Amino acid sequence: MLPANAEKLTDPTSIALAQQVQIAEINAPLAPSPVSTAYVCQGSGEPPIVLLAGFDSSLLEFRRLLPLLAAKHQSWAIDLLGFGFSDRTQSPVFSPDAIKLHLHSTWQQLIDRPVVLVGASMGGAAAIDFALTYPACVEKLVLLDSAGFAAGPAMGRLMFPPFDRWATAFLKNPAVRRRISLQAYCDPSFVTPDAELCAALHNELPNWSEALIAFTKSGGYNFLRDKISQIPVPTLIVWGRQDRILGTQDAARFQQAIACSQLTWIPDCGHVPHLEKPDLTASALLAFMASEVDGLR
């Protein structure tokens, strides 16, 4: 199911998650045939947790967090339409609306009960959009250093030939990806060869460039800013104190905008608390799930 280079993974958490990747054929109204959708499911216990990875990432992003959550809850990591290891050849569109529709179809066919929806970075924006449209599907929301307030990539202006191919080739360059990884962590020792392979493995699948171009040309999640205050479910905001990708100001903005929310800071941590501080992130998430939240729900 994964590219051949998956055999080069060396970290036990990476190997374990890669070996558990499954494919579901999801019938979604946006495509004439089922969309092959990558996911991992571990554990048992209610309510289920669904994890959504960030921009140009995959479910391998949750290799350290997922097992900790699965010890108490059924936990899913699902690759969004156009991202990760989900098929990019079966859908004609890769916009936020298409991503949301595909995720809802996946939820219906695999889970079909309210979940705790967890989104990291751009996955947080996708989770917000989903919760706003399908509130009955979401019991609680967790945002990990989430996009939503921050503007999306400006490269959308360049997404026409030949600049679109040059932009994605630039993003695929190992040196560029390494610089991004070094910026994402507070502790650079986390940027190992295994971590770099996890971050790039999905780039080897067909239509990676085409899907990335199509999503970027759609404008991404830049429309969310004025809708965040409408989030109808209790929300936990988890943020790395040393986030150098999105900064730290948006953490407080989310807390102020969402009526029923709480903010947890993760110390000595960058943009990816689920990778850099998985124990603290899991503890915050599980405590939030166990708490009785006064307010909207």
Amino acid at 207: N
Q: Which residue has the tokens 């404008």?
A: 219
Q: Which own/partner pairs from 174-178 qualify as long-range (CB within 8 Å, at least 24 positions apart)?
A: 174/200
Phi–psi pair at 70, nearest 5 degrees: -70, -15
Q: pLDDT at position 173, please? A: 80
Q: pLDDT at position 4, please? A: 93
- Which CATH number does 16-290 carry? 3.40.50.1820
Query: pLDDT tens track of the chain, all 297 residues?
Result: 799 999 999 999 999 999 999 999 999 988 889 999 999 999 999 999 999 999 999 999 999 999 999 999 999 999 999 999 999 998 888 999 999 999 999 999 999 999 999 999 999 999 999 999 999 999 999 999 999 997 665 554 544 554 455 566 767 788 888 898 999 999 999 999 999 999 999 999 999 888 988 898 888 999 999 999 999 999 999 999 999 999 999 999 999 999 999 999 999 999 999 999 999 999 999 999 998 765 433
Tokens of 109: 């066919």
Distance CA 47, CA 36 (A): 25
Q: Which residue has the tokens 């992003």?
A: 61
- Cβ atoms 144, 274 nearer than 8 A: yes
Q: Active-site positions? A: 121, 243, 271
Q: pLDDT at position 293, please? A: 61
Question: What sections of 218-277 are H helices per DSSP?
Answer: 249-257, 273-276
